[in-house]
Amino acid sequence: MTKNTRRFALAATLLVPFAPSARAGDGTVVHEVAVVASNQTAMGTPYWARRSNDTTQKISCQVKYEAGSGDPFVYCAATTRYNASLSCYAYDANLGQVVLAMDEYSFITFKCDGSALVSLSIVRNSNSLP
């Protein structure tokens, strides 16, 4: 091994612990999950919730179809890093289509009226992408 090769190997060994990591919880969060209790609204992205430094942030929506049951069951839930949470559901084919269009980078906003899901929107633009 030449002197320069040894220096490079030593430098690489010392720098590896400082290389960027892709593990969940290690990123800078651009969009924290928010719950506005006064108007029963939640918003955020699954991607940024997963990259947060805490283990409590989450936001999601799901849709479940059952044969012969009519409209699909749609459920949305969110929890902030301060443990404020909101969840609600509806049986609605249109809201189900919105959920099916979501991905991990979708900025989700949903509104509840008690336990009823009354509004759901997704936005995917440069602000919600990593």
Strands, DSSP E only, in the chain? Answer: 34-36, 41-44, 58-64, 73-79, 85-91, 107-113, 116-123
Of 24-28, 96-100, 112-116, the range with the highest mean pLDDT is: 112-116
* pLDDT of 114 strictly over 80: yes
Give the DSSP H or E segment for 13. helix 3-15
- Which of 118, 59, 121, 62 is closest to 90 using CA atoms? 118
- The residues facing 108 across adjacent strands are 44, 122
Banded model confidence at residue 17, pLDDT cuts 50, 70, 90: very low
What is this structure's pTM? Answer: 0.74
Alpha-carbon dihedral angle through residues 112, 84, 39, 107, given to the nearest 10 degrees: -70
Q: What is the pLDDT of residues 60-82, one digit of tens each?
A: 999 999 888 789 999 999 999 99
- The structural domains of the chain, with segments of one domain joined by +, span 3-123
Q: What is the mean pLDDT of the chain?
A: 80
